[in-house]
Amino acid sequence: MVDFAMHSERGKQQHQHNYRPVTVVLICALAVAANLLAMLVRHWLWLPLFMDTIFTVAVTFALGLVPGLVVAVLTWLADSIFWISLQPFHPFIPVALAEVLIVHLLKPSKPPAASLRQSPAFRADRNMLALYGVFMRVILIYFVCVISASVLGGIIDFVYRGGGPDYIGVNALIMALTQGGLHELPASIFSRFKVNMVDRLIVIFGGYLVSRAILTRYSQ
């Protein structure tokens, strides 16, 4: 049986590992390319999702705040230059930057306290407790990111209203909510919850799994 607690603690130590600059640059470049590819797939299949920050989240989990911010900004720039979302230099970059900050602040990066590690219950079930702790922390990140992306995206959408293709059906829902008597600002925010509840589930959990693969590959 895999000792998840030991594996988890080794992974936490890897967060502190100083990777060579060329390795960090390579990972960030691959993450930007993978983000763009995910956006193209979304575009080709007309999926009602965003799917633009999966690998940004993965890099943040694996390498930390600065590489995550770099991937977020470079993805936005590349998207704007190549018109992948057909909205050049759109103003939604703060949503991605906030997501990076949330992941960095809340990611499972600290081992259990010494007093807990010495307790009989922890020694008996440390694999299950470690797995449960990581899962609950990722769940917390998911819920906070859903709220953040919906509120920030709704506010930006309300202020910006720059048009562009409505891949995710937000505009139609905003119209339905406003016709029902809701003000346009809360309608812009609430309309994004239905998308973000699914999209952030893929982004956060998918990003965490990719980050484990990054740590495993580049820590050897």
Structural tokens at position 39: 């956006």
pLDDT at 13 over 70: no
Range of the domain at 184: 4-218
Mark residue 161 as left, alpha or beta (left: phi above 0; alpha: psi -120 to 50; beta: remaining): left
pLDDT digits over 50-66, tens only?
Answer: 888 999 999 999 999 99
Structural tokens at position 144: 């906070």
**CATH for 122:** 1.10.1760
Reference 129, options 4, 9, 13; nearest CA is: 4
Reference 208, options 152, 147, 136; nearest CA is: 136
Q: What is the rounded CA–CA span in Å between residue 197 and residue 204?
A: 11
Structural tokens at position 184: 């346009």
The answer to whether 192 touches 46, Cβ cutoff 8 Å, is: no
Residue type (1 letter), 211: S
pLDDT digits over 121-165, tens only?
Answer: 555 556 666 677 888 999 999 999 999 999 999 999 888 865 444
The answer to whether 56 touches 72, Cβ cutoff 8 Å, is: yes
Unique residue bearing structure tokens 């440390």: 126
Structural tokens at position 193: 């919850």
Q: How many domains does the chain have?
A: 1
